[in-house]
Amino acid sequence: MKKRIAVFLLVFTLILSCLPLSASAFSLKIVNMRLLQAGGDINVNDPITFMAQVNGEIINKAKFTWAVKKPGSGNYVTLESGTVTAAYLYTMDYPDRAGTYYYIIQLEPLAAYASEASERRVTSNEIAVTVKGNNSSSKPVEQHTHSWSSWKTVKDATCTEDGRRTRSCSCGETETQSIPATGHDYGDWVVTREARCDYVGKRQRVCSKCGDVQREDIPATDHKFGNWKVTQEATCQDIGERERVCSVCGKKETETIAKTDHKFGDWQVVKEATCQQEGERKHICSVCKTEETEKIPVTEGHKYGEWKITKEATCSKSGERTRTCEICGNSERQLIPKNTNHDWGDWEIVTDSTCSSTGVKKRVCKNCAEAQTGEISMKEHNFSKWVVQKEPTENENGYKMRACLNVGCDERESEVIPSLKEQREQAKKDKEKESKENNDSDLTKVLFIIFICAVGMGVIFIFIKKKIDGGKKSSEDNKKTKTKEKKDKPLKVKHLKRNY
C-alpha cells in the first residue's frame, strides 16, 4: 500500500513538473531603506553608505536607481543604477559641500517583465542627511577618482531579456550595468491559411534572432452574395420573402418584402354631406376586396337667402334682420346698428352774437330728442359815415371819426386828414405817375404796331416770291411738255406714186 502511494506521488510530481509554468505577477516593494552610519557628525568628503532591502521576487526582473538632490539644487541626479541581483542593495556617496542632502531609491521592471509587474515604478521615502563644513580628520581626505576599466559583457542581451556588463576600478570598486533587451526582429508575414467568408485566416512571422513565432488571425472576408430571388411575392394582405446565396460557402440570407399598398378603385359616395351633417364615401381594393371609408365634411356654410329687415334701426335703437337657409331652414339673425344720422329740426338762436362775442344756437332731433348746439360767429361792425372832427390847415393835419351802429357796440375808428400842402404834393405825384404810365403805354402800342407791320410785310414778300417762282416753274413745265409731245408725235411719210 505504501509503495502504491509513493508511486502515485512520484507520478503526480512528474506531471506537475511537465506542466508549463504560467507567468505570475510580481510587486515592486522596498522593504527597508536606511543610512548605515555610526553616531557623530557627517562632514564634507566623509563617506556615507545606504542600504535598501527589496522583496526577493524582483531579483533579475527589475532595475534600481539611487538618486541624490544636493544643497541648492531642485532636481535629483543619478548616483548609481543597475539590475537588482540581490535582496540587499548598497550605495556610497562622498558629499562635496556643506548642506542638506536628500537620497532616494527607485525600482522599475525590466522591459521584458513590464507586463508582469503590478507597478510601473516605486520610489522610496527621502532620507535627509546634514553635512557640516569641516572634515572629521585633522587632515583632509583626498577625494578618490575612479579609474574604470573597459566594460566586460557578463551576459548578452536577448530579444526579451536584458544583458549585463561590468567594469572595475583599481580600488576594487565594481560597477554593474544592464544591457537593454534588443527586442524581436520579425520577418514578413506569411499566410498559413487564407481567410474565407465562413472562417478566419491565419498568418505568422518569425524572429530572425531567436526563432520566436508570432501568430495572428486574418479577419473573415465578406460573403459574395448573388442577386436577390423572390421566393414569395408580397401582396396587400401578406408579406413576401426573398433570398440570396453566397457563391463561396453557400450561406443563404433571407429578408422579408413589405406588404404592397391596396389597389383601391374610385371613391363612391354613400351619403351626401349637407350643411348640418357629414357625408360618407368608400372605395374597394380590387385585389383583396378591403373597403376603406372616410367622412365627407359638411358643406361650406348654409345656403342662405336674402336678408329681410324685421325691425328698422333708429338713431336711439338698433334694428334687426334675418335670413333663412334654403336647405335646412336654419335662421340667422343680425343686429342693425343704430342710425347715426339724426333727423335734426331747424336751428334756434339761444344767445345772439354781437360785434365782440359769439352767440349760441341749438337744434333738436325729431326722433330721439337729442339736442345739438352750435356757435354763431361774431357780427361785423356797421360803421357810420366819416365825421370830420378837425379840418386840415396849410401845414397841420386834421382828423375824422366814425362809430359802430350795432346795439351794445362802442367800437370807434379815427383817421388822419393830411394837410393842404401834403394833399397838393400827393396830387402832383399822382399826376406825374399817371402821365408816365400813359407815355409807357403809348410807346408799347407804337412798338406793337411796328412789329405787326413788319410781320405783314414779310408775309406779303413771301407770298409774292412764291407766285413768281411758281410762274417760272409752270412756264418751264409747259416747254418740257411741248418738247415731249413733239418728240412723241409720229412722222408722216408721203408715198410718191411711181410710173412704170
Chain segment 305-345, per-residue pLDDT in tens: 888 888 887 777 788 999 888 777 788 888 888 777 777 88
Residue 499 phi, psi dihedral angles, 5° rounding: -100, 135
Length reported for the chain: 500
Distances (CA, A) of 422 to 209, 415, 429, 430: 148, 15, 11, 12
* 148: CB partners within 8 A, 6+ apart: 167, 168, 169, 175
Under the banding of pLDDT at 50, 70 and 90, the label for residue 137 is very low
Is the pLDDT confidence value at 134 over 90? Answer: no
Per-residue DSSP letter, 499: P
Across the chain, what does the average pLDDT equal? 82
Instruction: Return the sign of the alpha-carbon dihedral for residues 118, 119, 120, 121.
Output: negative
Mean pLDDT to the nearest integer, 460-471: 80
Q: What pLDDT does residue 132 have?
A: 87
Tens of pLDDT, residue by residue over 222-257, are 999 999 999 998 888 889 999 999 998 889 999 999
DSSP-assigned letters across all residues of 266-297: --EEEE---SSS-EEEEEEBTTT--EEEEEEP
Tens of pLDDT, residue by residue over 11-70, are 555 554 444 444 457 888 888 888 887 666 888 888 888 888 888 888 888 999 999 998
Q: What pLDDT does residue 494 have?
A: 39
Q: Which residue is listed with cell 532620507?
A: 127
User: Residue 456 has which C-alpha cell?
Assistant: 405783314
Paired sense of beta strands 213-218 and 308-311, if any: unpaired
Q: What pLDDT does residue 26 have?
A: 81
Q: What pLDDT does residue 108 have?
A: 92
Instruction: Return the sign of the alpha-carbon dihedral for residues 364, 368, 369, 372.
Output: negative
Exposed / middle / buried, residue 18 (Cβ in 10 Å: 0-12, 13-18, 19+): exposed
Considering the entire predicted model, what is its pTM?
0.29
User: To 10 degrees, the CA torsion angle through 55, 75, 120, 54?
Assistant: 0
